[in-house]
Amino acid sequence: MLDAVGEVPRERFVPPDRRAEASRDRPVRIGQDQTTSQPSLVAMMCAALELRGTERVLEIGTGLGYQAAVLSHLAAEVCTVERHAELAEAARRNLDAVGIDNVTVVAGDGTRGLPDHAPFDAVIIAAAAPGIPPAITEQIVRGGRLVAPVSQRGVEQVLVYTRDPDGLTEQRRLTAARFVPLVTGSD
Ligand code: SAH
């Protein structure tokens, strides 16, 4: 897990004028009023997916592509969706520039999941909502995992779920953290 974080040059996944901030374990602003989480939180969330390297993973909220780059080293294939077309475009360029070729970036509304690419063995949501959009749950294979920040009384709790025949079962709480909101619709 830490190897995957070590393999990704974070400064390539923040705006050029913020590269100096990339070496610190702190969130960094990435434009469009969005932020990229600190690497320790990305590592903790990716680790909670318990990937073995063979999975197809969906990420909701690409930003500039940092977490997708980390996941690309842990899974066989990553699909990631970003509602801001400009961020999606920049993420695609960032991933290409470091030679990552197992990530598909889609511009659109991730609250619908990505039906054309489903099903997924694991899903990670990088923006907070009061609940998990049902379309996403439906696109996870039985036994698959979901990690997502869920807003509860003004605080975001990062929760780990498994997909069961009836829907999602909450397994554990990873941590509390601040996240940008999951917004329905796309630019
Ligand atoms: N995963 C990114 C973090 C980006 S911040 C990283 O590793 O740096 C969360 C992102 O979620 C923002 O870019 C925001 O635009 C995006 N987002 C919010 N709601 C969304 C939605 N409905 N569909 C897709 N992306 C969404």
* pLDDT band at residue 181 under the 50/70/90 scheme: very high
Q: Compute the mean pLDDT over every residue in the chain, rounded to the nearest whole number.
A: 96
What pLDDT, on a 0 to 100 scale, did the predictor assign at position 186? 76
Distance 62 CA to ligand 1 centre (A): 5
Which residue is associated with the tokens 């997916």? 49
Q: Whose C-alpha lies nearest to ligand 1, atom 4?
A: 63
Residues 6+ apart with CB under 8 A from 111: 60, 129, 133, 135, 136, 182, 184
List, for residues 55-75, the tens digit of each pLDDT value. Answer: 999 999 999 999 999 999 999
Q: Can you read off the two tokens belonging to residue 55?
A: 């999975």
Pocket of ligand 1 (CB under 6 A): 34-36, 60-64, 66-67, 81-84, 87, 109-111, 126-127, 180, 182-184
pTM over 0.85: yes
Q: Is the pLDDT score of 153 beyond 90?
A: no
Q: Distance between CA atoms of 13 and 163, rounded to whole angstroms?
A: 31
Would you kindly state where each structural domain of the chain is located, as residue ranges? 2-176
The atom of ligand 1 lying closest to the CA of 70 is 7
CATH code linked to domain 2-176: 3.40.50.150
List, for residues 4-50, the tens digit of each pLDDT value. Answer: 888 999 999 999 999 999 999 999 999 999 999 999 999 999 999 99
Q: Is 37 a catalytic residue?
A: yes
8 A C-beta contact, residue 88 and residue 164: no
